Amino acid sequence: MAKQIFVTGGVTSSLGKGIIAASLAKLLQARGLKVTIQKFDPYINVDPGTLNPYEHGECFVTEDGAETDLDLGHYERFLNIHTSQLNNVTTGRIYQTVINKERAGDFLGKTVQVVPHITDEIKHRMLLLGKTNQFDIVITEIGGTVGDIESLPFIEAVRQLQWELPDEDVLVIHLTLIPYLKAAKELKTKPTQHSVKMMSENGVHPDILVCRTEEVLGNDIKNKIALFCNVKPEAVIEALDASTIYEVPLLMLREKLDVITLKKLGIKEYAEPNLDNWKIFLDKLKYPKAKITIGLIGKYIELQDAYKSILESFIHAGAINEVKVQVIDIHSEFINEQTVAEKLKGLDGLLVAPGFGNRGIDGKIIAVQYARENNLPFFGICLGMQMAVIEFARNVLHIADAHSVEMNANTTNPVINMMEEQKKIKLMGGTMRLGSYPCEIEEGSLANRIYGTTLISERHRHRYEFNNAYLVQFENAGMIASGTNPETGLVEIMEIPDHPFFIGVQYHPELKSTVESPAPLFVHFIAAAKKYNESRSK
Ligand code: GLN
Give 269: exposed, middle or buried? Use CB within 10 Å, 0-12, 13-18, 19+.
exposed
Pocket test of ligand 1: the residue of 379, 390, 464 to mutate, having most ligand atoms within 8 Å of its CB, is 464
Ligand 1 nearest-atom number relative to CA 355: 8
Please tell me if the CB atom of residue 17 comes closer than 6 angstroms to any atom of ligand 1: no
For ligand 1, the distance from its centroid to the CA atom of residue 385, given in whole angstroms, is: 9
Bridge partner list, 177? 212
H/E element, 521? helix 520-537
**pTM of this prediction?**
0.95
Look up 382 and say whether it is catalytic.
yes
* 199 touches 234 (CB < 8 A): no
Please tell me if the CB atom of residue 407 comes closer than 6 angstroms to any atom of ligand 1: no
| Nearest residue to 131 via CA among 259, 38, 32 | 38
For ligand 1, the distance from its centroid to the CA atom of residue 368, given in whole angstroms, is: 17
| Nearest residue to 175 via CA among 216, 225, 211, 135 | 211
At 60-86, the pLDDT tens digits run 999 999 999 999 999 999 999 999 999
Instruction: For residue 148, give every residue at least 6 positions away whose Cβ sits within 8 Å of its Cβ, in sequence order, or none.
Output: 42
For residues 339-351, average pLDDT: 94
User: Strand locations in 432-473, DSSP E?
Assistant: 433-441, 455-462, 464-466
Q: Describe the crossing of helices 71-79 and 17-30 by its angle, rounded to 10 degrees.
A: 20
Q: What is the mean pLDDT of the chain?
A: 95
Q: Which ranges constitute the DSSP H helices of 230-382?
A: 248-254, 257-264, 276-286, 308-321, 340-343, 361-373
Please tell me if the CB atom of residue 383 comes closer than 6 angstroms to any atom of ligand 1: yes
Please tell me if the CB atom of residue 300 comes closer than 6 angstroms to any atom of ligand 1: no
Instruction: For residue 267, give every residue at least 6 positions away whose Cβ sits within 8 Å of its Cβ, in sequence order, or none.
Output: 3, 33, 136
User: Rounded to a whole number, what is the largest CA-CA distance in the chain?
Assistant: 80
Please tell me if the CB atom of residue 352 comes closer than 6 angstroms to any atom of ligand 1: no
Please tell me if the CB atom of residue 433 comes closer than 6 angstroms to any atom of ligand 1: no
| Nearest residue to 445 via CA among 368, 523, 499 | 499
Instruction: For residue 395, give every residue at least 6 positions away whose Cβ sits within 8 Å of its Cβ, in sequence order, or none.
Output: 369
Please tell me if the CB atom of residue 461 comes closer than 6 angstroms to any atom of ligand 1: yes
Please tell me if the CB atom of residue 459 comes closer than 6 angstroms to any atom of ligand 1: no
Mapped onto helix, strand or coil, the DSSP state of residue 364 is helix
Chain-centroid distance, C-alpha 24: 18
**CA nearest ligand 1 atom 3, residue:** 462
Q: Which of 56, 382, 458, 495 is catalytic?
A: 382
Pocket test of ligand 1: the residue of 364, 437, 463 to mutate, having most ligand atoms within 8 Å of its CB, is 463
- Find the radius of gyration of the CA atoms of the chain: 25
**CA nearest ligand 1 atom 1, residue:** 356
Give the Å distances, CA to CA, from 537 to 346, 523, 524, 530, 534. 11, 21, 20, 11, 5
pLDDT score of 465 = 97
Please tell me if the CB atom of residue 463 comes closer than 6 angstroms to any atom of ligand 1: yes
Give the Å distances, CA to CA, from 177 to 212, 236, 240, 247. 5, 12, 10, 19
**CA nearest ligand 1 atom 8, residue:** 354
For ligand 1, the distance from its centroid to the CA atom of residue 464, given in whole angstroms, is: 6
pLDDT score of 537 = 81
For ligand 1, the distance from its centroid to the CA atom of residue 60, given in whole angstroms, is: 14
pLDDT score of 426 = 84
* 297-306, 333-342, 478-487: range with lowest mean pLDDT: 297-306
For ligand 1, the distance from its centroid to the CA atom of residue 78, given in whole angstroms, is: 27
pLDDT score of 359 = 87
Q: Which of 67, 312, 465, 510 is catalytic?
A: 510
Give the model's confidence band at 51: pLDDT under 50 very low, under 70 low, under 90 confident, else very high.
confident
What span, in angstroms and rounded, lies between the C-alpha atoms of 195 and 175?
Answer: 10
What span, in angstroms and rounded, lies between the C-alpha atoms of 265 and 504?
Answer: 48
What span, in angstroms and rounded, lies between the C-alpha atoms of 514 and 72?
Answer: 12
* 520 touches 472 (CB < 8 A): no
Pocket test of ligand 1: the residue of 58, 296, 332, 356 to mutate, having most ligand atoms within 8 Å of its CB, is 356
Q: Is 173's pLDDT higher than 90?
A: yes
pLDDT score of 55 = 76
Please tell me if the CB atom of residue 273 comes closer than 6 angstroms to any atom of ligand 1: no
At 430-461, the pLDDT tens digits run 889 999 999 999 999 999 999 999 999 999 99
Q: Is 138's pLDDT higher than 90?
A: yes
For residues 510-533, average pLDDT: 97
| Nearest residue to 140 via CA among 153, 152, 154 | 154
pLDDT score of 450 = 98
Please tell me if the CB atom of residue 382 comes closer than 6 angstroms to any atom of ligand 1: yes
Burial profile 404-430: b = 16 or more Cβ within 10 angstroms, e = fewer: bbbbeeebebbbbbbeeeeeeeeeeee
| Nearest residue to 442 via CA among 493, 392, 487 | 493
| Nearest residue to 4 via CA among 40, 36, 29 | 36
Q: Which of 74, 403, 499, 508 is catalytic?
A: 508
For residues 132-159, average pLDDT: 95
pLDDT score of 108 = 85
For ligand 1, the distance from its centroid to the CA atom of residue 369, given in whole angstroms, is: 20
* 363-372, 389-398, 425-434, 493-502: range with lowest mean pLDDT: 425-434
Q: Across the chain, how many H-helices and E-strands are there?
A: 18, 23
pLDDT score of 48 = 85
One-letter amino acid of 65: G
Q: Is 303's pLDDT higher than 80?
A: no
**CA nearest ligand 1 atom 5, residue:** 383
For ligand 1, the distance from its centroid to the CA atom of residue 363, given in whole angstroms, is: 17
What span, in angstroms and rounded, lies between the C-alpha atoms of 456 and 443?
Answer: 13
Ligand 1 nearest-atom number relative to CA 464: 10
Chain-centroid distance, C-alpha 520: 17
| Nearest residue to 494 via CA among 377, 403, 389 | 389
Please tell me if the CB atom of residue 265 comes closer than 6 angstroms to any atom of ligand 1: no
Q: Which ranges constitute the DSSP H helices of 208-338?
A: 218-229, 248-254, 257-264, 276-286, 308-321
Look up 510 and say whether it is catalytic.
yes
Q: Is 161's pLDDT higher than 90?
A: yes
| Nearest residue to 383 via CA among 352, 415, 354 | 354
* 326 touches 349 (CB < 8 A): no
For ligand 1, the distance from its centroid to the CA atom of residue 461, given in whole angstroms, is: 7
Ligand 1 nearest-atom number relative to CA 461: 9
What span, in angstroms and rounded, lies between the C-alpha atoms of 296 and 344?
Answer: 10
Q: Is 11's pLDDT higher than 90?
A: no
Q: Which ranges constitute the DSSP H helices of 31-90?
A: 53-56, 71-79
For ligand 1, the distance from its centroid to the CA atom of residue 532, given in whole angstroms, is: 29
Mapped onto helix, strand or coil, the DSSP state of residue 313 is helix
* 71 touches 39 (CB < 8 A): yes
Ligand 1 nearest-atom number relative to CA 382: 8
Q: Is 54's pLDDT higher than 90?
A: no
At 473-521, the pLDDT tens digits run 999 999 999 999 999 999 999 999 999 999 999 999 999 999 999 999 9
At 231-256, the pLDDT tens digits run 999 999 999 999 999 999 999 999 99
**CA nearest ligand 1 atom 6, residue:** 462
Mapped onto helix, strand or coil, the DSSP state of residue 350 is strand
Give the model's confidence band at 12: pLDDT under 50 very low, under 70 low, under 90 confident, else very high.
confident
The single-letter DSSP state of residue 414 is: E
pLDDT score of 52 = 80
